Amino acid sequence: MTEVRLYRLGDEIAINDAFNRVFGKQRSVEEWAWKYSADDPHFLVVVAWDGERLAAHNGGIAAEFQVDGRRILAMQAADTFSLAVAERRPEWRDAWQQVMDHFVEVSVEEFGASMFYGFTGGQAISHIVARALGNSVPPRRIPLLTRTRRPSGRSPVSRLYRARLINDHEPALDRLWERVGHRYPVSVVRNADHVRRRLSGHPTVGYHRWLIRPRWSRIPAAFVAFRSDGGAIRWVDLVWDGRPGALELVDYLSRRLAEQTGAEREELWLDGDPEATQWLETFGFEGRPDPSGVVRAVRFIDSDLRAETFSPGRVYTTMADADLV
């Protein structure tokens, strides 16, 4: 009989080994600790053990969400898996459901979570939607923008802005979000604390984080974070105040980074900012649903949340919202 419980010190070895086996990865334990911010008060990992053998797992990443001006705590389900098939243990088939049920119970009772969400694909979609009740809104296929042919040169309007690399904690990001958060009515709050937790301290990845300002002003106009690996420049996150020149400078930085690293393509998730999407398409990006088939699933706990609030195109989504980029 399996025991479903919260994480205990030392579980991370078996959890990470199982994750690598199930998903075909080579993630280190150090990266696991970074991802879940194991010293964070919202740290939440639920496991099912059958004696000394791990049967199922689900991890939680807490996120502050804004929903039409209201701030709520959301919990992102991540690395959810069962070892019933891999270990050929049919008696473990219910362990994952027990893990998810306990995860929801703890999230609500101890942390006051108002909703859950996650990104999944393939056969896992039906499990998340049907068994974990991730059907408060229809699963949303994530749009992907890609570019392989890059225009040369730099536009005159982009020269009205300047960019600087930022450190792990940048107070100007709070001021930027205060100014532009209304552009993203349903979104993870992308302030300085979010950027520090999500885009710093990774044991193997260095994110290129830029703050954009007009040349004659200290008021921030945009923030962008890039990741460069695997022959690609990925725009991990983007916050923008709507001024075209600032976005054109972000685009120029991406092209320069691609040239410097020899990247074959540039790509980003972008949902919930049609104006930015339109501009990027004029810059040579082409949009389509992510060919991986990944979707965002959502489960409401708070009865005040409404499906129409999360209608297609209203939830701002970038690669920073996922847990593997």
- Is 117 in contact with 299 (CB distance < 8 Å)? yes
**Residue 267: is its pLDDT beyond 80?**
yes
Closest to 76 in 3D by CA, of 308, 240, 320, 289: 320
What pLDDT sits at residue 121? 79
Residue 74 has pLDDT above 90, yes or no: yes
Q: Is the CB of residue 44 less than 8 Å from the CB of residue 52?
A: no
Q: Has residue 276 got a pLDDT over 90?
A: yes
pLDDT of residue 133: 65
Beta partners for 289?
A: 143
Report whether pLDDT(29) > 80. yes
Q: Exposed, middle or buried: residue 111 (CB in 10 Å: 0-12, 13-18, 19+)?
A: middle
Which pLDDT belongs to residue 85?
85
Closest CA to 294 of 267, 322, 270: 322
d(CA 272, CA 277): 9
* Mean of per-residue pLDDT scores for the chain: 93
Percent of the chain with pLDDT over 70: 98
Q: Is the pLDDT of residue 42 over 90?
A: no
Whether pLDDT at 320 is above 80? yes
**Residue 89 confidence (pLDDT):** 87
* Mean local confidence (pLDDT), 67-89: 92
Quick one: pLDDT at residue 120? 87
For residue 138, give the amino acid letter: P
Going along the chain from its start, the domains and CATH numbers come out as 3-142+292-321 (3.40.630.30), 144-289 (3.40.630.30)
Average pLDDT over every residue of 209-226: 97
pTM higher than the cut 0.85: yes
Instruction: Name the band, by pLDDT with cuts 50, 70 and 90, for residue 324.
Output: confident
Residue 172 is predicted with a pLDDT of 97
Whether residue 251 is predicted with pLDDT greater than 80 in this model: the reply is yes
What's the token pair of residue 208? 């290129």
pLDDT digits (tens, 9 = 90+) for 145-188: 999 988 888 889 999 999 999 999 999 999 999 999 999 999 99
Q: Is the pLDDT of residue 221 over 90?
A: yes
- In this prediction, residue 130 carries a pLDDT of 66
In the predicted model, what is the mean pLDDT of residues 258-273? 96
- pLDDT higher than 80, residue 126: no
